[in-house]
Amino acid sequence: MRIVTANLNGIRSAATKGFFDWMAVHGADVICLQELKAQAADLDQRMRAPAGYHGHFHYAEKKGYSGVGIYSRRAPDRVIEGIGHAAFDAEGRYLRADWGNLSVISLYVPSGSSSPERQEVKFEFMDEFFPVLAGLRAEGREIVICGDWNIAHREIDLKNWKGNLKNSGFLPEERAWLSRVFDEQGWVDVYRRLHPEATGEAYTWWSNRGQARAKNVGWRIDYQIATPGLATAAQAAGVYKEQRFSDHAPLTVDYDFPW
């Protein structure tokens, strides 16, 4: 089972940069998308349901903003939009698809980098989402949450960690929250399980400023975070950087798991 997570920073923009051509040959079973920056009426047929895939989406109410989606080769048994919080659900940040005992979730955690006010919104989301994560674990299903978590967990997860200790995405409170997700609730960072010491090759996002991508001054903020059983089934993981579809790069994980 091959699962991809990709923040597209605009599905229409990514389409013009070859994302769907890449997807057609990559062989993924499930693709989780974030930052659609589009509504249903903005998507053409290929974006709604690429050849061989079913498409499901949770759009933001605000035009050109946020939004998540899931493509899958098999139609899901059930699809759930949102976490049950009106303000965050209006931003299109959470989409869950179920197949049997497996759930795949596309998640887009708010960014706090634009203002102190948005950082407070991010903290509020983290507070609201923590019990949601606990509830998911209590279901006893195998689950993987794919997406842009907008937090670099450890010093090896970004190039310039010393210069970002007071910046959104690497704040002590954010990193401690993610540690609680792993240590208290038992979720597993799948890429880190397979590549415990990887640095530059693990980055999934680069600023558009200062030739950050060319110099690989990046951050690892896109994750597949899974229940222990599913995480143990992970065989390989990698970040695709040969083509540039977005300011993020797709993260692929292959699981030895029937679905």
Confidence of residue 174 (pLDDT cuts 50, 70, 90): very high
For 147-152, what is the mean pLDDT?
98
Strand partners, 55: 71
With residue 16 as reference, give the H or E element that holds it.
helix 11-16
Residue 90 belongs to domain with CATH number: 3.60.10.10
Compute the distance between CA of residue 161 and CA of residue 183 in angstroms, rounded to an integer. Answer: 22
Candidate list 42, 44, 77, 148, residue with the active-site label: 148
d(CA 164, CA 184): 26
Q: What is the 3-state secondary structure (H, E, C) of 66-93?
A: CCEEEEECCCCCEEEECCCCHHHHCCCC
Residue 106 has pLDDT above 90, yes or no: yes
Domain boundaries, position 42: 2-255
Q: For 116-133, what is the mean pLDDT? A: 97
Question: What is the count of structural domains for the chain?
Answer: 1
148 is catalytic: yes
